[in-house]
Copies of this chain bind each other. A is one copy, B any other.
Amino acid sequence: MSKTSRSGSTDGDVEDLFFALGDRHRLSVVRTLRARGALSATMLADDAIVTRQAIVKHLRILERAGLVSHQRRGREVLYALEARRLDEARTFLDGISAGWDRAITRLRRLVEEP
């Protein structure tokens, strides 16, 4: 089997994924791409406060996390959302909250002991 497990994401992958989403500008980029479809860095920079170069760096981080992919079209480069990754993030969160009931029970037991 390759380096990817059955669930399709390693620990580092998950870290990159959430790191990528943990910035307001990148969240904004994700929202914009979701709403308006594929856009170039220049187009994205028009709406944003920051420079095109800043947007480019954010796009690189998003792409490293697998959240966006790019494709050249003539002289411009279009970035689009890669939704499978978002599903993976959701799956991960499912896994974490699965143990929740057990955890809260243990806490209560510990705290309420005399």
Residues of A that sit less than 8 Å from B by CB: 11-12, 14-24, 27, 30-31, 33-38, 71, 73, 78, 80-81, 83, 86-87, 89-90, 93-94, 96-100, 102-107, 110-111
Contacts and interface: CB of A to CB of B under 8 A. Distances in A.
A87 B93 CA distance: 8
A58 to B, nearest CB: 13
Given A19-B22, A110-B78, A30 B103 contact: no
Given A86-B97, A100-B83, A71 B107 contact: yes
Contacts of A23: 15, 19
B34 A103 contact: yes
A96 B86 contact: yes
A97 B59 CA distance: 18
Given A11-B27, A15-B27, A93 B103 contact: no
Given A37-B110, A100-B81, A103-B33, A21 B22 contact: yes
